[in-house]
Amino acid sequence: MSVSKPNAWIASVKAWGLSRSRLEWVLHGMLALAFSGLLLAYIQFAGPNLPGLDGFYHIKMAYLIREQGIPVKFPWLKFTILDEAGYTDHHLLLHLFQVPFTYLSDDLRLAAKVAPVVLAAITFTAFYLIIWRYGIRYPFFWLMLLFASSSPFLYRMNMARGQSFSLALQLIAFHFVMERKALALAILAAVFVWAYNGFPILIPLVLFGVVAHYLAERRIEYKLVIGVGVGIVIGLVLHPYFPRDVLFIWNHIVPKLFATKYATSVGREWYPYNSWIFFTLSLVAHLAYLGALLITNREELKQDKPRLFWLLMSTMYFVLLLKSRRFVEYFPPAAIMFLAFSVRPWLQRMDLTQLLRTERRIIGAIVVSLLVILAMQRTIHDVREDIRNRPPVDMWKGGAEWLARHTPPGSTVFHTDWDDFPMLFYYNTHNTYLVGLDPDFMRLKDEKLFRRWEAITRGKVAHPEDTILHTFGCQYVITDNKHRRFISIANRSPRMKKVYSDRYTTVYRVLEKSRSTS
């Protein structure tokens, strides 16, 4: 008796050690990965520019790890707490993930675009598999809803930063919490510490899971708390930069979480949106959250642990989003998860053939589907426009490379904004710089010096030459051409000689005071 082709195919799959359930996992994962990867690549390659500025720093660090190994000596920000004695790579696993992509081309900007597409596609696949694993029907609908949920969310997922890594780990942590896998949670926590400095988010995540278990079963899952605590400690202690990693977390994260007013002009991501933008840019996410709240009652929450968990997570991220726009990378997926688990019982009872018996219901289903598709299309279009309209990736190339050719190795360059550093660092590791990644890093090391630098760059010091030369030890200044007050002072000064200029940047050499003017 001959074996039919389908049976033979199944037999061959089993021979490879794949059960039917594992095969379904693989197939679903491959489909979600392909769908997500194609859409994310379509977004990312809307233009040659990089979403955000920090991607220049991250991909350059990946390259330096490839060339030097771990730990990387870091002399480039000696006026900050990330000087050579205090530097910690708080995105170490992200940089290790990015290393293989640096082999794609001598132009690392390609790596800075491909790596986030791959990482975000993995994260979106994790979202899809969680939906599918917990029996929520139509997982591709929910994946499409995630793409439609928020343009800032989708934009930040395309950055060459650690947000995607963090979100993926949180989704996996949710599964471990629901399954009471304390050991797996401990391992994940240690990985999180090495991947992204946002790992403290695991603490409320696990506590929300403990609350959900207790309300449903009147049982305190203390092992989960111990597991995540032990994992965090192990991750911190075994980190190549220990104990500097602990000090960095204290200096960088804690002050911003509890501050009502920042001591420096930090990045825009730490400030809130205005009310209209807050609502409209993440309209689908807000509607999902409000819709889930409206259809939820207290008794259902006590019995549905995942639903309660995502209520707590989405509410926490909603509150944090009111304080800081950077949490837009977490609120939309949490809101979609909350809605998905809220309608899960109804979807499981629903018979689609029965539901679509009447013409009115068919039209309703078509309208809902079209609205989701249109929302997704609009969100993707907006993010592509944002990427296309980013500043040119090579705007700092001319000035940075001129400095590399005409200055001594390791000499410090004075620059007029803290967020210039990633591009300067990307194009020129020949020189060192004053401040970067976060202006607070300089203030925390020496606030008086930081305020002097700030005053000079804002054009408030009429004669900054001696301070630049002797206090900061810089013979050269580079500025973008938007710092008009500083440029006006520099152009009038007989001791600041313009040595390079292009459309975007200008370089000055600062001269010593001549005897004739003394």
What does the CA dihedral 291, 293, 296, 298 come to, rounded to 10 degrees?
-170
- Residues 380 and 461 reside in one and the same domain: no
Model's pTM, two decimal places? 0.90
Average per-residue pLDDT for the chain: 89
Query: What's residue 361's pLDDT?
Result: 61
Alpha carbons 471 and 473: distance in angstroms, whole number: 6
Query: What's residue 517's pLDDT?
Result: 47
Domain that holds residue 415: 397-517
Residue finishing a domain among 342, 364, 388: 388
Q: How confident is the model at residue 270 (pLDDT cuts 50, 70, 90)?
A: low
Alpha carbons 223 and 217: distance in angstroms, whole number: 15
Query: What's residue 237's pLDDT?
Result: 95
- Residues 432 and 330 reside in one and the same domain: no
Query: What's residue 139's pLDDT?
Result: 94
Is position 253 within any domain?
yes
Is the per-residue pLDDT at 3 higher than 60?
A: no
- Report CA-CA distances (Å) from 475 to 158, 427, 446, 469, 495: 38, 19, 21, 6, 11
- Residues 135 and 22 reside in one and the same domain: yes
Is position 74 within any domain?
no
Cβ–Cβ under 8 Å, residues 270 and 324? yes
Residue finishing a domain among 388, 415, 444: 388
What does the CA dihedral 435, 438, 443, 445 come to, rounded to 10 degrees?
-70
Is position 50 within any domain?
no
Is position 66 within any domain?
no
- Residues 15 and 36 reside in one and the same domain: yes
The separation between CA 22 and the C-alpha centre of its own chain, rounded to angstroms, equals: 31
Residue finishing a domain among 358, 388, 418: 388
- Residues 383 and 423 reside in one and the same domain: no
- Residues 162 and 275 reside in one and the same domain: yes
The separation between CA 35 and the C-alpha centre of its own chain, rounded to angstroms, equals: 21
Provide the residue type at 259 as one letter. Answer: A
3-state helix, strand, coil in the chain (%, to 5): 65, 5, 30
Query: What's residue 351's pLDDT?
Result: 66
List strands edge to edge, sheet with 476-480: 413-415, 476-480, 505-510, 496-501
What does the CA dihedral 152, 157, 159, 164 come to, rounded to 10 degrees?
140
pLDDT-above-70 percentage for the chain = 89
Look up the CATH number of the domain holding residue 422.
3.40.50
Is position 371 within any domain?
yes
Please state the domain count of the chain. 2
Is position 139 within any domain?
yes
Non-local (6+) Cβ contacts of 93 within 8 A are 165, 191, 194, 195, 196
- Residues 451 and 402 reside in one and the same domain: yes
pLDDT-above-90 percentage for the chain = 74
Q: How confident is the model at residue 518 (pLDDT cuts 50, 70, 90)?
A: very low
Cβ–Cβ under 8 Å, residues 332 and 246? no
Query: What's residue 65's pLDDT?
Result: 97
- Between 6-20, 155-169, 218-232, 237-251, the lowest mean confidence (pLDDT) is in 6-20
- Residues 168 and 140 reside in one and the same domain: yes
Mean pLDDT of 379-388: 94
pLDDT for 427-466, tens place per residue?
999 999 999 998 989 999 999 999 999 999 999 999 999 9
Q: How confident is the model at residue 5 (pLDDT cuts 50, 70, 90)?
A: low
Q: Which of 397, 409, 426 is nearest to 507 (CA)?
A: 397
The residue with greater pLDDT, 323 or 32, is 32
Residues recorded for the chain: 518
The region that residue 17 occupies, defined by phi over 0 for left and psi between -120 and 50 for alpha, beta otherwise, is left
Q: How confident is the model at residue 298 (pLDDT cuts 50, 70, 90)?
A: confident
Q: How confident is the model at residue 7 (pLDDT cuts 50, 70, 90)?
A: low
Is position 56 within any domain?
no
User: In terms of DSSP H, where are the helices of 324-396?
Assistant: 331-349, 352-355, 359-388
Q: How confident is the model at residue 516 (pLDDT cuts 50, 70, 90)?
A: very low
- Residues 407 and 326 reside in one and the same domain: no
- Residues 404 and 349 reside in one and the same domain: no
Omega within 30 of 0 (cis) for the link into 243? yes
Mean pLDDT of 194-216: 94
- Residues 362 and 404 reside in one and the same domain: no
Cβ–Cβ under 8 Å, residues 37 and 145? no
Query: What's residue 478's pLDDT?
Result: 97
Mean pLDDT of 326-333: 93
Is the per-residue pLDDT at 6 higher than 70?
A: no
- Report CA-CA distances (Å) from 91 to 28, 58, 188, 249, 317: 30, 8, 15, 12, 22
205: helix, strand or coil: helix
Query: What's residue 353's pLDDT?
Result: 63
- Residues 289 and 344 reside in one and the same domain: yes
Is position 28 within any domain?
yes
Alpha carbons 499 and 331: distance in angstroms, whole number: 48
Non-local (6+) Cβ contacts of 452 within 8 A are 461, 467, 471
Is the per-residue pLDDT at 277 higher than 90?
A: no
Alpha carbons 345 and 25: distance in angstroms, whole number: 22
